[in-house]
Amino acid sequence: MRVPQQPMPVRFKRAELRVNITNLYRCLKGLLSPRELDVIQRVLVGRTLKSIAEELHLDITTVSTYKARIYGKLDICVHNPYEMAAYACKEGILLLEEHP
């Protein structure tokens, strides 16, 4: 009779999404307004519309409008949040930093 092996413990590292501001401005400065850049920076790290609105002292519908305009301006390559994140990773805008 074979004794089952104990599974190896899984160790998770803490990770944090960080926006590389330099690359964000390099890639999107000519396309987006300063306020749209503020909004997309927060969208990329996963903030909710409500938290973005509170942080920027805007109405939620205003933040939603900015987000829609951003997607409209980036229509060639971005149609939803997943594509925005993929685009941001490819361009070096969105970075994943692991912590021990």
Task: Give percent of the chain with pLDDT exceeding 90.
Answer: 32
User: By three-state DSSP, how is residue 18 classified?
Assistant: strand
Question: Packing angle between helix 34-44 and helix 21-28, nearest 10 degrees?
Answer: 130
43-53 tens-digit pLDDT: 988 899 999 99
51-67 tens-digit pLDDT: 999 999 999 999 999 99
Res 95 pLDDT > 80? yes
Tokens standing for residue 55: 């942080």
The whole-number pLDDT of residue 19 equals 87
Domain boundaries defined on the chain: 15-99
Mean of all residue pLDDT scores within the chain: 83
* Nearest of 31, 16, 9, 20 to residue 96 by alpha carbon: 16
Find out whether 38 and 58 touch, Cβ atoms under 8 Å: no
CATH pick for 15-99 out of 1.20.900.10, 1.10.3720.10, 1.10.150.130, 1.10.10.10: 1.10.10.10
- Composition of the chain by helix, strand, coil, percent to 5: 50, 10, 35
